[in-house]
A and B are shown apart, each in its own frame.
Chain A
Amino acid sequence: DAEITQSPRHKITETGRQVTLACHQTWNHNNMFWYRQDLGHGLRLIHYSYGVQDTNKGEVSDGYSVSRSNTEDLPLTLESAASSQTSVYFCASSYRQGNTEAFFGQGTRLTVV
Chain B
Amino acid sequence: SQELEQSPQSLIVQEGKNLTINCTSSKTLYGLYWYKQKYGEGLIFLMMLQKGGEEKSHEKITAKLDEKKQQSSLHITASQPSHAGIYLCGAELPLTQGGSEKLVFGKGTKLTVNP
Contacts and interface: CB of A to CB of B under 8 A. Distances in A.
Contacts, number: 64
Given A102-B90, A104-B43, A106-B42, A48 B102 contact: yes
Interface in A42-99: 42-43, 45, 48, 50, 56, 58-59, 90, 92, 94, 97-99
A90 B43 contact: yes
A101 interface: yes
A28 B31 CA distance: 21
Given A40-B107, A48-B102, A99 B31 contact: yes
Contact of B92 (A35, A41, A99): A99
Contacts of B33: 101-102
Contacts of A106: 41-42
Nearest to A103: B45
Interface residues of B, number: 26
Interface of B: 2, 6, 30-31, 33, 35, 40-45, 48, 50, 88, 90, 92, 100-108
Given A48-B102, A98-B30, A102-B33, A90 B107 contact: no
A90 B35 CA distance: 14
Nearest to A94: B103
B38 to A, nearest CB: 11
